[in-house]
Amino acid sequence: MAPVKVTKICCTLKCPHIRVTIVDLNQARIDAWNSPDYKLPIYEPGLEEVVRQARGRNLFFSTDVDKGIQEADLIFVSVNTPTKKSGVGAGFSADLTYVESATRRIAAVANSSKIVVEKSTVPCRTAESMRTILEANSKPGTRFDILSNPEFLAEGTAISDLLRPDRVLIGSLQTPEGKDACASLSDVYANWVPRDRILTVGLWSSELTKLAANAMLAQRISSVNALSAICEATGANIEEVSHAIGYDSRIGPKFLRASVGFGGSCFQKDILNLVYLSESLHLPQVAAYWRQVVEMNEYQKSRFSKTVVDTLFNTITGKAADTGDTRESAAISLVRDFLSERAYVTIFDPKVEEAQIWQDLSEACPSMTLEAIKKQVTIAPSALDACKQKEAVVIATEWKEFKEINWETVYAQMTKPAFVFDGRLILDAEKLRKIGFTVKVIGRGDRL
């Protein structure tokens, strides 16, 4: 049941007495998890160390889904829930095809009672649909209890987020059986999470909390990005403004960092889910409110790409993307905009595989064939190679390679005048200007 989440893997580290089996129908992905050189299918700092400690001890990876279901007492359903591309709710609602197929498989195979845990981000009351499927297809004497246990992880810090979480949320039906199932999962987390950080709530509250948490975080990002546009127009500095705002105890400093926009698959997908839910409940004003958060994010990305295109003539160097998950990433959106301007783009990413980059670009540019995309896009083996004979470098991500690169060497190899566009506020702009670069930093009022 893919994509595999790191929660269960971290559980093996803190609960050596619990056997965890990750099952997936994708043989290549399971082979990667079991690879002797630990070339894991996803990148997350610290993940390899956890797998090295637990694999073969109490952590196992297998394609034998049915055996995994039959042997488990507690089953986490961790499957992809992309935004629907067609049908009712297309563009907003979550596609629950994989959730349904996983649930039906559990019902068909299970020969003893199970606790089934929603781990994927799902719309409200999805658990009700899962319970209907399980109860309608269960074998005599087999009972299923449904829990909601959403993740609150940030890519890049997922391992530390799991080992030292702000909170663990578990939702259950408020029946004696539901509360017993909730207590069983709480006991697992209590091996390393203080009891006062394990929150037990109703099933529907848990499902909505995940959407609400991501929506509120995305709202903060869009708010500070809206301010960054004002800063550039007035001469203010967004870093100074956000730093001062963050001193207000009612606001705090987190998620007040301006950027080219939030990417990844979670924030936008969850906000669109909230928009669709609001419209379904006949709350158009609420739907319009949350839709504006997404529109502000799209504006920030298009505003940044327009600044680049307006400044340059033909060749742009893009750096994509910040994580191993490039779905709907800000960097891919920038490349799409550059391609529409007939620019030539060179991409470097230290973690994302070439095949994934081409797939992401194909999805982002549906009007272009992959052959046409490859005429305008080159994937470079290193950051220095990506910059050779280019007119501009666009920083859309925060890989440490971009902070530590030898900018004197970069400048010497670039076409002049050489431009740097910092969309993540990670570079020393004055140092780059002394080298000879013309620098544009998002959210700063200085002019090119």
Q: Is 182 assigned a catalytic role? A: no
152 is in an annotated binding site: no
327 is in an annotated binding site: yes
User: Residue 133 in contact with residue 146, Cβ under 8 Å?
Assistant: no
In whole angstroms, what is the distance from residue 169 CA to residue 129 CA?
20
What is residue 250's DSSP assignment? T
In whole angstroms, what is the distance from residue 369 CA to residue 356 CA?
16
CB count within 10 Å of CB 432 equals 21
Q: Which amino acid is at 300?
A: Q
- What torsion, rounded to 10 degrees, do the Cα atoms 419, 423, 428, 434 define? 10
Nearest to 351 by CA among 425, 401, 387, 301: 401
CB count within 10 Å of CB 72 equals 19
In whole angstroms, what is the distance from residue 307 CA to residue 76 CA?
45
In whole angstroms, what is the distance from residue 128 CA to residue 131 CA?
5
Residue 206 in tokens = 């848990």
371 is in an annotated binding site: no
Nearest to 262 by CA among 409, 413, 154: 154
Residue 189 in tokens = 């987390």
155 is in an annotated binding site: yes
126 is in an annotated binding site: no
440 is in an annotated binding site: no
121 is in an annotated binding site: yes
User: Residue 169 in contact with residue 150, Cβ under 8 Å?
Assistant: yes
272 alpha-carbon distance from chain centroid: 15
340 is in an annotated binding site: no
Q: 3-state DSSP call for residue 352?
A: coil
79 is in an annotated binding site: yes
Nearest to 117 by CA among 102, 136, 95: 102
Of 15, 124, 231, 266, the catalytic one is 266
83 is in an annotated binding site: yes
203-234 vs 238-246: helix crossing angle, rounded to 10: 140
In whole angstroms, what is the distance from residue 274 CA to residue 287 CA?
7
Query: Would you say how long the chain is, in residues?
Result: 448
285 is in an annotated binding site: no
How would DSSP label each residue in 99-129? HHHHHHHHHHH--S-EEEEE-S---TTHHHH
Can you say which residues are annotated as belonging to the binding site for NAD(+)?
24, 29, 79-83, 120-121, 155, 266-269, 327
> Any idea which residues carry the catalytic annotation?
266
Can you say which residues are annotated as belonging to the binding site?
24, 29, 79-83, 120-121, 155, 266-269, 327
